[in-house]
Amino acid sequence: MVKSELCELLGIRYPVFQGGMAWIADGKLAAAVSEGGGLGIIAAGNAPADYVRSQIRIARELTDKPIGLNIMLMSPFADQVAQTAVEERVEVVTTGAGNPSKYMAAWREAGIKVIPVVASVAMAKLVTRLGASAVIAEGGESGGHVGELTTMVLVPQICDATHLPVLAAGGIADGRGVVAAFMLGACGVQMGTRFLSAEECTIHPVYKEKILKATDLCTMVTGKRLGHPVRSLRTPFARNYWKAEYGGMPDEELEALGGGALRLAVQEGDEERGCFLAGQIAAMVKKTQPAAEIVAQVMAEAEPILKGAAAWVE
Ligand code: TUI
């Protein structure tokens, strides 16, 4: 079985996190991943603290294994959700889309392991100084809010910049991706898009179908002009947004065009107005299966590849 220091650190069987996907990663999905031996992560997204609390409690009903909470730092409710993490005593907090500095002391005092998503060396160094337990180096192959660098170049640079355990994210969907991440210096992975096809993932059937039918070139990045680049499926909505973005639509109108688009994709499956976030490995997601099976399968695939790596050396 493939293990790493992350397993002991967090009390999990496999060094695999399920990404905290806004509107998608709820208590049910997170519990299924944690039951399967990975770390399931509930996404707070832009939701209020009460919703987040209820999802944590749903997960606690379904599993006694550790669970994580992802806090999207651009959320208007980030302060309250940060407090909810403390009150509900989640084992792990991951953060995204910003700088988590102002919350880190409070989380650490509560005994929570803080594992920020970082997209740059500077942020990795900062959170290392502030007492993070590990970092997730997320490359721009990922779905949703993306940084500048790819996983291939980000992961080794983050590994050189911190003594903390590093998880790789962005562009990983199977055992080959896990092994590649380990070769770059990571000791764990986070996957998001691969879990969109999980049986316990409650996204609209249209969303699931789009992922299962995706091809290699089917994602694109929009939102750069407003400073929030987001990777999603190349749908009529994404193309129209891109045209408006580069066609000179004023900022406020562009913001309004994107407002509510994640919800419309996840809950309504609205192909014209919804924004279907997905990473570049969408085409590698081929079937619906239980979340626990995804975790076990990916790690089982990794094992023979890791064992076989010695064959490259004479
Ligand atoms: O956060 C994500 N992915 C997301 S968040 C999201 S919700 C959203 N909705 C609309 C617009 C924007 C977001 C959907 N997907 N991934 C983690 C991640 N964090 N990727 C990149 C970063 C990041 C970026 C900047 C982390 C730190 C950072 O620091 C900025 C600073 O202050 O220097």
Cα-flanking dihedrals φ and ψ of residue 213, to 5°?
-95, 0
Cα separation, 155 vs 140, in Å, equals: 12
Run of H or E residues at 167:
strand 166-169
**Which residues of the chain register pLDDT less than 70?**
none
| Torsion on CA atoms 228, 145, 100, 13, rounded to nearest 10 | 180
Best residue among 102, 121, 145 to mutate for probing ligand 1's pocket (most ligand atoms within 8 Å of CB) is 145
| Direct distance between the N- and C-terminal alpha carbons of the chain, in angstroms, rounded to an integer | 25
pTM to 2 decimals? 0.97
Q: What residue ranges line ligand 1, CB within 6 angstroms?
A: 22, 45, 72, 74, 96-99, 117-119, 123, 138, 144-145, 147, 228, 230, 277
Q: Tally DSSP H helices, then E strands, for the chain.
A: 13, 11
CB contact burial 268-285 (16+ within 10 A = b; e otherwise)? ebbbebbbbbbbbbbbbb
Say how many Å lie between the CA of residue 177 and the centre of ligand 1.
Answer: 22
Say how many Å lie between the CA of residue 146 and the centre of ligand 1.
Answer: 6
Any idea what the Cα angle at residue 195 is, between residues 132 and 99, rounded to 5°? Answer: 25
Percentage of residues of the chain with pLDDT beyond 90: 98
CB atoms within 10 A of CB 17: 29
Which residues have CB under 8 Å from 5's CB, separation 6+? 165, 187
Average pLDDT of the chain to the nearest whole number: 97
Which residues have CB under 8 Å from 245's CB, separation 6+? 222, 223, 224, 225, 226, 254
* Class of residue 236 by CB neighbours under 10 A (exposed 0-12, middle 13-18, buried 19+): exposed
Check residue 247 and give its pLDDT. 94
Check residue 7 and give its pLDDT. 98
Place of tokens 């994709």: 265
Check residue 38 and give its pLDDT. 98
Place of tokens 């997730």: 136
Q: Which atom of ligand 1 is nearest to the CA of 147?
A: 21
Report, in angstroms and rounded to the nearest whole number, the Rg of the chain calculated over CA atoms: 18
On whether the CB atoms of residues 65 and 34 are closer than 8 A, the answer is yes
Would you give the distance in Å from CA 269 to the centre of its chain? 21
Strand order in the sheet with 144-145: 144-145, 230-233, 219-222
Distances (CA, A) of 72 to 85, 127, 243: 13, 16, 27
Check residue 219 and give its pLDDT. 98
Check residue 57 and give its pLDDT. 98
Say how many Å lie between the CA of residue 200 and the centre of ligand 1.
Answer: 25
Nearest CA to ligand 1 atom 22: 97
DSSP 55-107: HHHHHHHH--S-EEEEEETTSTTHHHHHHHHHHHT-SEEEEESS--HHHHHHH
Say how many Å lie between the CA of residue 96 and the centre of ligand 1.
Answer: 5
Say how many Å lie between the CA of residue 76 and the centre of ligand 1.
Answer: 14
Nearest CA to ligand 1 atom 15: 144
Check residue 72 and give its pLDDT. 97
Dihedral angle sign, alpha carbons of residues 200, 144, 45, 109: positive
Q: Which atom of ligand 1 is nearest to the CA of 45?
A: 7
Side chain identity at 50, as an amino acid letter?
A: D
Check residue 66 and give its pLDDT. 98
Cα separation, 273 vs 279, in Å, equals: 19
Side chain identity at 301, as an amino acid letter?
A: E
Run of H or E residues at 58:
helix 49-62
